Amino acid sequence: MIKFEQVSKTYPGGQQALRKVDFHVEKGEMAFLTGHSGAGKSTLLKLISIMERPTVGRVLVNGHNLSSIKRREIAYIRRDIGMIFQSHQLLMDKTVFDNVSLPLVIEGHTRKNIAKRVDAALEMVGLRDKAKNIPITLSGGEQQRVGIARAVVNRPPLLLADEPTGNLDPKLSMEIIRLFEDFNQAGVSVFIATHDLGLIARMKYRTLTLKNGQMITDGLNEQPNQGLYV
């Protein structure tokens, strides 16, 4: 699903964010990306959503080389990738419904279909009764779940999350991770960047670790998780 081949990224000014990163996350897999802040996690995710381009190497999603994607096509790529951010990236003056429906409005769905799908997405994250609220009145955990509902509302085959549990307490963090597990169970590939090592330690998923832009471990945390390596 996500394949990095000898990828390096050097920012203008000489700061080297990634060095010869190589890995492959399979279709239907759920994997964590970890490392200290500044290790290159965000850069790596940005290369997948084409917010940045690699300096050297190839990034492939579902076998397609992203370097062949033109600027105009990036919007369409992002419709295939559900993205979740630590800062939520919600429209604070619009209702929860409007926020979650945004990807569908952009794709040009009918009103009826939008209402149906948004309803289903909010149901999944347990915020069905908050549809008319504006995000600012919600708690941090609820805002994050609005972001998740928005990411999955158009049923993308791939979910990327950048520090989705960043500001949440361990209990809420676990709830969020459980949500991701549900989506993964439904066949969605999930790739989560987090520095919350405690959270990862409690689970048995493949964990990629970055240090100073280099991939230092690529393997399963403790023991293999059956059924995920197909």
Partner 1 sequence: MSLLFKGRAQGAEAIKIGVLQLLIMFFTDHLRQAVNSLGELWRSPFASLMTIGVLGFSITLPSTLYVLVKNTEQISQQWEQASEISLFLRTGVTDASAQQLLTRLRLWPEVAEVAYISPAEGLKEFQVLSGLGDALNYLETNPLPGVVLVVPTVKHSSPTSAGMLLNKLRKEREVEIGKLDIEWLERLYALIGIAKDLVTLLAVLLFFAVVLIIGNTIRLNILSKRDEIVVMKLVGATDAFIQRPFLYTGFWYGFLGGIMAWVTVLLILLWVDYSMQGFMEKYQVSFNLTAMDLSTLIVMLLVSVSLGIAGSLLSVQRHVKDIEPR
Query: Per rule CB under 8 A, is residue 62 in the interface with partner 1?
Result: yes
**Is position 72 an interface residue for partner 1 (rule: CB under 8 A)?**
yes
- The residue within the footprint of partner 1, chosen from 24, 36, 53, 64 (CB under 8 A), is 64
| Cα–Cα distance, 93 to 169 (Å, whole number) | 26
73/222 with CB nearer partner 1: 73
What's the CA gap between 100 and 43, in Å, rounded?
A: 26
Is 79 one of the binding residues for partner 1 (CB under 8 A)?
yes
The answer to whether residue 6 forms part of the interface with partner 1 (CB under 8 A) is no
Instruction: Specify the stretch interacting with partner 1 by CB under 8 A; choose among 101-109, 124-132, 169-177, 192-200.
Output: 101-109
Is 61 or 179 the residue whose CB approaches partner 1 more closely?
Answer: 61
Q: State both tokens at 186.
A: 């439904």
Whole-Å CA distances, 165 to 13, 24, 43, 55, 194:
31, 24, 18, 30, 8
The Cα 32–Cα 220 span in angstroms is: 10
Query: Burial level of 158, CB count in 10 A (0-12/13-18/19+)?
Result: buried
Q: In the bound complex, what is the minimum distance in angstroms from residue 192's beta carbon to partner 1?
A: 17
Residue 186, interface with partner 1 (CB under 8 A)? no
Contacts of 52 (CB under 8 A, 6+ apart): 9, 43, 46
Of 107-115, 118-126, 137-145, 174-182, the window that binds partner 1 (rule: CB under 8 A) is 107-115
122 forms part of the interface with partner 1 (CB under 8 A): no
Number of shown-chain residues binding partner 1 (CB under 8 A): 30
- Amino acid letter, 7: V
Q: Which residue has the tokens 């069905």?
A: 128
Residue found by looking up tokens 């209402």 in the block: 115
- Which positions lie near partner 1, rule CB under 8 A? 49, 51, 61-62, 64, 69, 72-73, 75-80, 83, 85, 89-91, 102-103, 106-110, 113, 150, 154, 157
